[in-house]
Amino acid sequence: MQIAEILSRFREGAGLTQGGLGRAVGVSTSTISRYEDWRSSQRLSWRLVEKMCAACGCGPDEVESTVSLARESRDGWWVGNRDVQTWLSPLLGLEYEATEIRIFADSYFPEPFRTPAYAAALSMAAGGGTACAEAAGRVSESRLRELILVRPPRFRLILQESALTRTVGGASVMLDQLDYVLAGLRILPVEIRMLSEQRVEYVGPGSFRCLSGMGAQGFEVAVCDTLVEGVCYDAKPQSSRFSELFERTWDECSKDFEDRLLEARRRYSERI
């Protein structure tokens, strides 16, 4: 579970034993052990989580983000969250468990590589209205927070050229979006390649993602995006078809994504 991994990582990073951390915050070793082996049926005290983070020397942003997770963590933050569409909740669970996520993005930057403003602007453009746009922004922010705090999976992303040139929400929103992706390349295990517009017809289906490494058997699923909701394929022949399609397309892509991103960033900067 994500909160358990975070707390354990903070303690180990501070060079503390479970007993040492327990003494520092005034609880037993068994309590620290329970929090680091958390299950969704147990309740967490966010105040104790706050003390644990502080004792481990966490910065204010880490403390605030972890406490927010503790407040939400009877299950994953997405379970029962009104902002999360019903079809999306299982995908978020798989996303958290996966060790590798491969994404083919059709025309736009995909989640979880969207800023809240970019996600909200896309929702508005699709006719979702203000309430839906605000919800999309909050969901995007939660996915971003999870990626930063929890050991992220390895990402490989195929992006069409139009994602850099198609303005979503105005030049300022796009500039922030590009800066976020650039930061992600620096701090996350992600590799992005660019698919030229001339090669789009080669791929066939629209956006899809392959998630692998879930569960003890390390099984794989493919999720194909549609206009309304994602369609999940967990049978091996189907998921393998998408996996093979991704790998063939990956080999056809250019490796100069960062150079193209910086050029697009320069153009948007000139428009502000």
- Band of pLDDT at residue 1, cut at 50, 70 and 90: very low
Domain edge (last residue) among 19, 45, 72: 72
- The reply to whether 54 falls in a domain is yes
Residue-wise pLDDT tens digits, 98-145:
889 999 997 899 988 999 999 999 989 888 788 887 888 888 877 766
Residues 52 and 163 in one domain: no
- The reply to whether 191 falls in a domain is yes
**109 vs 94: CA distance, rounded Å:** 20
Phi-psi group of 179: left, alpha or beta (phi > 0 → left; psi -120 to 50 → alpha; rest → beta): alpha
- The reply to whether 82 falls in a domain is no
Strands 100-105 and 190-195, by their bridges, are unpaired
- Band of pLDDT at residue 234, cut at 50, 70 and 90: low
- The reply to whether 80 falls in a domain is no
Residue-wise pLDDT tens digits, 218-227:
668 888 875 4
- Band of pLDDT at residue 55, cut at 50, 70 and 90: very high
Does 57 have pLDDT greater than 90?
Answer: yes
Average pLDDT over residues 246-272: 94
Domain edge (last residue) among 22, 37, 72: 72
pLDDT score for 191: 96
Residues 16 and 122 in one domain: no
Structure tokens, 164: 């850099």
Q: Residue 120 maps to which CATH number?
A: 3.30.870
Residue span of the structural domain in which 40 resides? 2-72
Does 200 have pLDDT greater than 70?
Answer: no
Average pLDDT over residues 32-42: 69
106 Cβ neighbours under 8 A, 6+ residues apart = 160, 206, 207, 225
